[in-house]
Structure 1
């Protein structure tokens, strides 16, 4: 991708844009602030980027919610800790993605259509959008990426059940 610099680290406090590449459905872009970047693991904070409340049935994302988002340059997923305006943990929304790229303007994250939701109490661990993943045709177009995506979803579920991402996000 033009402007991509795998060696660049982001500076805490910088305003950036997160670009979530959603294939034919179009990209989603939103502002975030860098918390930290160690060269592999990038952490940003962002308000809920939706124009309105989104009710998934198992969680509602609404104005005032704050996402602390964890991205890796060497892993096939991202983990987003979601808190309400008062700071109460709602849970973690995990996207299966290709490893994150850094551009001049921020992060580029290619969504691979598999997701995991983990409630704050870890009573609900839900694998999401497996139908969208199958419909995407990734398994035919790029079997290696599809296998990485399935492994990433399994890894995320295992980590969620083990310690709710405590060790991963430290």
Structure 2
């Protein structure tokens, strides 16, 4: 591990913003910060189960989250309480910003899911993205977001995220 932690225990708070407002914030343990990529470890941040139909996030699940300062996405490896791999949930975001004890990312609505066995690669929330107005309010950001989703889908279909996350 090469980065500086927010405190002596490696604590960091992840702040997910959407449309200018904080959507959620949760504690995480900083694993690495090499100046470009920030890697944190976090427990599922809700006391309730969230069933997406293709995966269930539930208390006890553990996320290893990879954020970049120069890429328009975050990749989250999801494991159950026993350590079994569920898959990867990817958020399309603006590049991450780390300031003091916070890691701030802005969610741009688009998401991608890749199951552990690779049989399911799903583009998610394209309707929310279209409804967000980003295509007209910030066409450059919208183009970057769509390109990021395409890039992640190709990686997911071409053997997964091993090279990206390694």
Q: Distance in 2 between matches of 1:10 and 1:166?
A: 25
Measured after TM superposition, the shift of residue 103 of structure 1 is 1.1
Counting only pairs closer than 5 Å after superposition, residues 9-158 of structure 1 correspond to structure 2 as 9-11=3-5, 13-23=9-19, 26-158=22-154
Preserved CA contact (<8 Å) 1:36 1:44: yes
Unmatched runs of 5 consecutive residues or more in structure 2: none
* Runs of 5+ consecutive residues of structure 1 not aligned to the other structure: 1-8
Note closer, same or farther for the CA distance 1:67–1:23 as it changes in structure 2 (3 Å cut): same
CA separation in 1, counterparts of 2:71 and 2:10?
23
* C-alpha distance in structure 2 between counterparts of 1:25 and 1:54, whole Å: 21
Change (3 A) 1:24 1:109: closer
**What is the TM-score when the length of structure 2 is the normalising length?**
0.94
Deviating beyond 6 angstroms after TM superposition, the runs of 4 or more aligned structure 1 residues are none
Instruction: Give the secondary-structure state (helix, strand or coil) at the position aligned to 2:27.
Output: strand
Normalising to structure 1: TM-score of the pair?
A: 0.92
Work out whether residues 5 and 12 of structure 2, in 8 Å CA contact, stay in contact via their aligned partners in 1.
no
For 2:158, what is the secondary structure of its paired residue?
helix
Answer yes or no: is the 8 Å Cα contact 2:30–2:40 preserved in 1.
Answer: yes
Match of 1:5 in 2: none
Cα distance in 2 between the residues matched to 1:10 and 1:80: 21
Q: CA deviation at 1:65?
A: 0.2
Task: Encode CA deviations 1:108-167: one digit per residue, 9 max, x unaligned.
Answer: 000000000000001000000000001100001000000000000000001111121000
